[in-house]
Amino acid sequence: MEVFREAQRPEGWRKVAEAFGLIRKRLNIDGYVALYDDERRLHACFALFWLGAEGVKELADELNGASPEELKKYVEDLSVEVLKGDWTEEIFPESPQRKAELQALFEALPSEEKAEAIKRGQYLYSFVIAFFYESISVMAHGEKLTSLVPKAMAGDRDAFLKAIHIDKALLYSHPWFKDRHEEAQGQRDEDFLRDIGYRLRVAPTRGRIRHAGLYAVFSMLEALGWLNDLRHEEILDLCDEARLDRWQNRIEDVNYLTKRLGGYRRMQKSGGIVNALN
């Protein structure tokens, strides 16, 4: 939740973007933008981190022939297990001492295991960055990047602008977006280039979001496809798990949470944060 709160401020957004840029450079994962082409790629990327290539193959064999309901339940159970686990401290250590310990453990690995750890790290951070922007897109525009990007590639100019507004790396790292930008430059499409420039300058989370942490939870659940499936009592429990202050977010009970969710839906129908602030 902290990264979403930090990203709400213009200077905070720049810090988050710079941090992600550094990670992309160190791990050589600029190709993560291809995950937006198909939502299934995003989930497969996380599975490859969590289970490894062999684990994914074994899982596919295990679930071969399973019904859609069984597959859905398996994915939900696995996701809950992952989200409630305590593995995040090992991936995102907070203290310098723990960072040094993990670095020492990595350096001590045999070369093959070290290569596997790097590969799993690439899958993890590709997912983390893409899923962060996926959630921000839902919050800002009321639509996932994994929906906007295919629309843009089908010729939807507005979807193109919304997509690069959320993740500017699309313009430089995604082959189709890069080619479309170069085409606009070659054709001297001044209106389109002006719109692109505006989207590149303005942070998608500009302005004050009254319940930023709560809306971040809603947008993440929606990006996962859970928001409409979970009971409101379950969503409130997840808000507690995320350590959201009930009083500050005006979600003292389920009825209040239902009202806040209604406000989130109204914001989306109006075009998300961007239009709500114009």
What are the pLDDT digits (tens) for 75-94? 666 665 655 555 555 666 66
Average model confidence (pLDDT) across the chain: 80
At residue 190's C-alpha, the angle toward residues 185 and 192, to 5°, is 85
Q: What angle do CA 31, 33, 38 make, to 5 degrees?
A: 115
Helix intervals (H) in the chain: 2-8, 10-27, 39-63, 68-84, 88-91, 96-107, 111-141, 145-153, 157-166, 170-173, 175-186, 190-201, 212-224, 232-241, 254-269, 272-277
Encoded tokens for 213 = 């942490």
The Cα 132–Cα 204 span in angstroms is: 13
With contact defined as beta carbons under 8 Å apart, do 218 and 224 qualify? Answer: no
At 273 the pLDDT is: 44
Q: For residues 252 and 91, give the distance between their C-alpha atoms in angstroms, rounded to a whole number.
A: 32
Distance CA 74, CA 52 (A): 17
Q: Residue 278: pLDDT band by 50, 70, 90 thresholds?
A: very low
Q: How many CB atoms lie within 10 A of CB 36?
A: 28
Q: According to the model, what pLDDT value does residue 274 have? A: 43
Least confident of 6-10, 44-48, 126-130: 6-10
DSSP secondary structure letter of residue 251: -
- The percentage of the chain sitting over the pLDDT mark of 70, rounded to a whole number, equals 74
**CB-CB contact of 223 with 25 (8 Å):** no
pLDDT digits (tens, 9 = 90+) for 54-63: 887 887 787 7
pLDDT reading at 5 higher than 60 = no
Q: State residue 151's pLDDT score.
A: 96
User: Looking at residues 92-109, what average pLDDT do you find?
Assistant: 82
Cα–Cα dist 233/56, whole Å: 33
pLDDT at 276: 36
Lowest mean pLDDT among 4-8, 51-55, 139-143, 202-206: 4-8
Note the pLDDT tens digit of each residue in 174-211.
Answer: 999 999 999 999 999 999 999 999 999 887 765 555 66
Residue 90 is predicted with a pLDDT of: 60
The pLDDT of residue 158: 95
Mean pLDDT of 202-231: 72
Q: Across residues 26-52, what is the average pLDDT?
A: 88
Residue 173 has pLDDT above 90, yes or no: yes
pTM: 0.76
Helix (H) or strand (E) holding 228: none
